[in-house]
Amino acid sequence: MKITSIEQFKTAVPHIPEIQKSRPTHYKDSPITMLKVHTDEGIYGLAEGGRGETFEDIDQKWVGVDPMSINLTTTSGTMVMALYDIVGKALGLPAYKLMGTKHWDKVPVGYWSPPLEAHEFAAAAENGAKQGFKTHKLKARPWNIVETVELMTKAAGPDYGIIVDPNFTFGDLATTLRIAEKLEKYNIQAFEDPFRYLPGFQQYRDFRRHSRIPLAPHLYDSTQIMSAIRAEGADMFNTGGTVEQTIINAGMAEAAGMPVWLQVAGLQLGVSGAYGNHVHAVIRNATIPSDVLHFTRENDLVGGVMAPKDGFVEIPETPGLGVELDMKALEHYRV
């Protein structure tokens, strides 16, 4: 089998309204290119580029390559999605069976919000809860996070879990502890990267000694994960990478008695969403809802076949990734 050609479809798909408001031009500024990779055996595979990613030299690199000759679990980049799709179809196997042991028939996903005003977060939480989501990750900022959590809890109920991701904007240990003290009475499932941890995780350890809110460093480097574990500076991890690296990172966390959630695909569309969910299926301790967010676009370009139901996505059993491009939608959003 050889790759013979690669079709590219550049698309601009808006986010759902509550996200679109905060980033009105993002989908146009960072279009997403869908790939359809053809082979000489008539089998094709689908892949999805990152936001704003371009593929000028992709034919030179990949045309003529035998997909069956590639070590899939250690391959990175956009093309690995298409390779899993092609090889899975050729062998009659769903992609997860080429990745590892299946642990999940359906995987948890969380609702998500960018930085918003407190009342907008609350409206988003109410919407998420109505759709059956159990957890909501939000891009938090120190000046309104306490009001935000209070209003979200009133809107969605006390059992609605909240993951607070400040992207380091809480600044330092003292500020983070002051915020944590005000939030401990709510269902805060984690602080993700509240302040800088490098070169060491000692201050994360100190936070854990003074607050019951779990800490979740967002790490892809296994040496950093080990450093955080040794320093007692984490309760869980957000991680990803190649399939092999994701399995290694999650295994390290599991050996330390910690769960993980995955960010293999983010604010993307349905092909990368399908790939990310297949990876999730083989991670035994990925018990926390993932950051696979294809449902945050007004159209996922795969016909909605992996839309979450009550906060879970079912893993396809059909060969490959288990999704097909909705060509009508693709042409509508093509740029």
Q: For the chain, what is the mean pLDDT?
A: 96
| Separation CA 111–CA 289 (nearest Å) | 9
pLDDT for 267: 82
CATH of span 106-314: 3.20.20.120
Residue 288, helix vs strand vs coil: coil
> Is the per-residue pLDDT at 288 higher than 80?
yes
Cα distance between residue 147 and residue 251, in whole Å: 37
Q: CA-CA distance, 100 to 276, in Å (whole number)?
A: 14
Q: CA-to-CA distance for 227 and 247, rounded, in angstroms?
A: 18
Task: Report, in this order, helix, strand and coil percent for the chain, each rounded to 5.
Answer: 35, 20, 45
Please check the confidence at residue 140 and state whether its pLDDT lies above 80: yes
- Comma-separated ranges of CATH 3.30.390.10 domains in the chain: 3-94+324-333
- Of 241, 259, 316, nearest to 80 (Cα)? 241
- pTM of structure: 0.96
What pLDDT was estimated at residue 301?
98
β-pairing verdict for 111-113 and 135-139: parallel
- Reported as a pLDDT band with limits 50, 70 and 90, residue 265 is confident
- The answer to whether residues 97 and 122 touch, using CB atoms and an 8 Å cutoff, is no
User: What's residue 266's pLDDT?
Assistant: 79
Q: Tell me: the pLDDT tens digits for 294-332?
A: 999 999 999 999 899 999 999 999 999 999 999 999 999
Phi, psi of 180 (to 5 degrees): -60, -40
Measured in whole angstroms, the distance separating CA 46 from the mean position of its chain's CA atoms is 18
197-201 CB contacts, 8 Å cutoff, 24+ apart = 197/228, 197/233, 198/224, 200/227, 200/231, 200/233, 201/227, 201/228, 201/231, 201/232, 201/233, 201/234
User: Above 90 in pLDDT, residue 5?
Assistant: yes
Using 50, 70 and 90 to split pLDDT, how confident is the model at 137?
very high
Quote the CATH superfamily of domain 3-94+324-333.
Enolase-like, N-terminal domain (3.30.390.10)
CATH 3.20.20.120: which residues of the chain? Answer: 106-314
Pairing type for strands 135-139 and 161-165 reads: parallel
Q: Rounded to an integer, what distance in angstroms lies between the CA atom of residue 288 and that of residue 297?
A: 22
Close Cβ partners of 204 (under 8 Å, ≥ 6 residues apart): 197, 215, 217, 228, 231, 233, 234
Q: Please choose, from the candidates 160, 114, 134, the residue with its C-alpha nearest in 3D space to the C-alpha of residue 296.
A: 114
H-helix or E-strand spanning residue 205: helix 202-210
Is the per-residue pLDDT at 100 higher than 80? Answer: yes
pLDDT-above-90 percentage for the chain: 96
* pLDDT at residue 198 is higher than 80: no
pLDDT of residue 164: 98
Q: What is the pLDDT of residues 41-79, one digit of tens each?
A: 999 999 999 999 999 999 999 999 999 999 999 999 999
Residue 206, pLDDT > 90, answer: yes
pLDDT over threshold 80, residue 335: yes
| pLDDT surpasses 90 at 37 | yes
> What is residue 276's predicted lDDT score, i.e. its pLDDT?
96
pLDDT (mean) for 92-110: 97
The band of 26, judged by pLDDT with boundaries at 50, 70 and 90, is: very high
pLDDT (0 to 100) of residue 199: 78
214 residue type, one letter:
P
Percent of the chain clearing pLDDT 70 (strictly above)? 100
Q: Which letter does DSSP use for residue 334 in this model?
A: B
